[in-house]
C-alpha cells in the first residue's frame, strides 16, 4: 500500500502530513521519529495524521481529527501551527467545502476559518494561567508564567535580547510543577501589542515557531499587565502571527505553505 505524504509549514514550524482517513496506518513512535529525522527521514518538527474522528472513536463534532505527534514520537494534546496547516489541507483538497469548520484535537474541538488570502485563524479556546515557575538556561534562572493552552507552557518575559539565548540544550524546569514536561517560551516586548519570541518545544527542541506558545506568550504578557483581553503580533524566527484574547479565549492567525507531496517507499516504512 503506497503511503502518501505532504510537507508543509506554518511560520516554519514544519510538519509531515499523512492522509489516513480510515485510521489504517500503524503510526508507531519510532516511525514518527524516523519521518521527522532531518538526516534519515523527511525532516519535520512533527507529524499530522489526517484521520476521520469516527475512525479513532474519539468524540468530536468535526469530521476530521488532527492526530498530532512531536518529532520524538510523543503525543501532544494540541499544536496551533499544525492546526492551521491541517485546516488549509482540508480546504485545498476539498475534504471540507466551506471556509469555516471544526477540527477535532486531543485538546477538544477547534473551530477554524480559512481566509481568502490563505491565512488561517484557529479558535484556540482558553489560555489558562496556572501559576508561576522558573526555567534555567545556561546557568541563569528565568521566572515565568505557567499557561495551559491545552498543552503546558512556561513563558518568561526577559530583559536581554532573546536572540542571544543559547537554546541548543534542553533548558531545565521544575519537573514537579510540570510532570508531563513543558514548552518553554522566552519573550521580549518590542512595542505596544508586539512581542518577539523564541521557544524550546517539549518533544522537539528549539523550533522556528509554536502556535500554542505564541498564544501562551500573549496571555502571559496580558496577565502581567492585569488583563485577559487584547491583541498582539508575535515575531518568531519563522515569521509573524497574530494572537487575540477575549476574556482569556484565544484566536491564532497566520500563514501556511505547502512544500511537497510524495509517496513513502514501502521498505523504508516497514523498517522505520
Ligand X SMILES: N[C@@H](CCC[C@H](N)C(=O)O)C(=O)O
Report whether 148 belongs to an annotated binding site.
no
C-alpha cell at 261: 507531496
Contacts 24+ apart (CB under 8 A), 175-182: 177/131, 177/133, 177/146, 178/133, 178/146, 178/152, 178/154, 180/152, 181/152, 182/146, 182/152, 182/153, 182/154
Exactly one of 6, 36, 79, 264 is catalytic; name it: 79
Report whether 81 belongs to an annotated binding site.
yes
Q: How remote is the C-alpha of 77 from its chain's centroid? A: 10
Exactly one of 6, 47, 165, 210 is catalytic; name it: 210
Nearer to ligand X, 75 or 194 (CB): 75
- Nearest distance from C-beta of residue 265 to ligand X, angstroms: 27
Nearer to ligand X, 96 or 201 (CB): 201
Nearer to ligand X, 68 or 101 (CB): 68
- Nearest distance from C-beta of residue 119 to ligand X, angstroms: 15
- Nearest distance from C-beta of residue 194 to ligand X, angstroms: 19
Distance CA(50)–CA(62), nearest Å, equals 12
Asked whether the CA dihedral 229, 99, 56, 256 is positive or negative, the reply is negative
Gyration radius from the chain CA atoms: 18
Nearer to ligand X, 133 or 151 (CB): 151
Question: 241 with 233: CB under 8 angstroms?
Answer: yes
Distance CA(103)–CA(135), nearest Å, equals 33
Report whether 211 belongs to an annotated binding site.
yes
* Residue 36: active-site member: no
Report whether 183 belongs to an annotated binding site.
yes
Residues at the contact surface with ligand X, assessed by CB under 6 A: 13, 70, 76, 79-82, 151, 183, 201-204, 207, 210-212
Report whether 141 belongs to an annotated binding site.
no
- Nearest distance from C-beta of residue 153 to ligand X, angstroms: 8
Distance CA(222)–CA(232), nearest Å, equals 10
User: Which residues carry out catalysis?
Assistant: 79, 210
Please give the annotated binding residues for substrate, written as ranges.
13, 70, 80-81, 151, 183, 201-202, 211-212
Binding site residue list? 13, 70, 80-81, 151, 183, 201-202, 211-212
Amino acid at each position: 500500500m503506497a503511503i502518501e505524504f505532504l510537507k508543509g509549514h506554518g511560520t516554519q514550524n514544519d510538519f509531515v502530513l499523512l492522509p489516513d482517513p480510515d485510521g489504517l496506518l500503524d503510526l508507531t513512535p519510532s516511525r514518527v521519529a524516523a519521518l521527522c529525522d532531518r538526516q534519515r527521514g523527511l525532516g519535520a518538527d512533527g507529524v499530522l495524521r489526517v484521520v476521520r474522528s469516527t475512525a479513532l472513536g474519539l468524540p468530536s463534532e468535526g469530521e476530521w481529527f488532527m492526530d498530532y505527534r512531536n518529532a520524538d514520537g510523543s503525543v501532544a494534546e494540541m499544536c496551533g501551527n499544525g492546526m492551521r496547516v491541517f485546516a488549509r489541507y482540508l480546504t485545498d483538497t476539498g475534504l471540507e467545502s466551506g471556509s469555516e469548520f471544526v477540527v477535532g484535537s486531543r485538546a477538544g474541538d477547534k473551530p477554524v476559518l480559512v481566509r481568502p488570502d490563505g491565512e488561517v485563524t484557529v479558535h484556540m479556546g482558553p489560555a489558562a494561567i496556572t501559576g508561576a515557575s522558573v526555567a534555567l538556561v545556561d546557568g541563569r534562572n528565568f521566572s515565568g508564567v505557567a499557561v495551559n493552552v491545552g498543552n503546558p507552557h512556561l513563558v518568561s518575559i526577559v530583559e536581554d535580547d532573546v536572540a542571544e539565548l543559547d537554546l541548543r540544550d534542553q533548558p531545565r524546569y521544575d519537573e514537579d510543577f510540570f510532570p508531563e514536561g513543558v514548552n518553554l517560551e522566552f519573550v521580549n516586548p518590542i512595542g505596544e501589542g508586539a512581542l518577539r519570541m523564541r521557544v524550546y518545544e517539549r518533544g522537539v527542541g528549539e523550533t522556528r515557531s509554536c502556535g500554542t506558545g505564541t498564544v501562551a506568550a500573549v496571555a502571559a504578557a496580558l496577565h502581567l499587565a492585569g488583563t485577559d483581553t487584547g491583541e498582539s503580533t508575535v515575531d518568531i524566527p519563522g515569521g509573524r502571527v497574530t494572537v487575540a484574547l477575549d476574556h482569556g479565549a484565544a484566536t491564532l492567525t497566520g500563514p501556511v505553505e505547502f512544500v511537497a507531496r510524495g509517496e513513502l517507499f514501502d521498505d523504508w516504512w516497514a523498517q522505520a
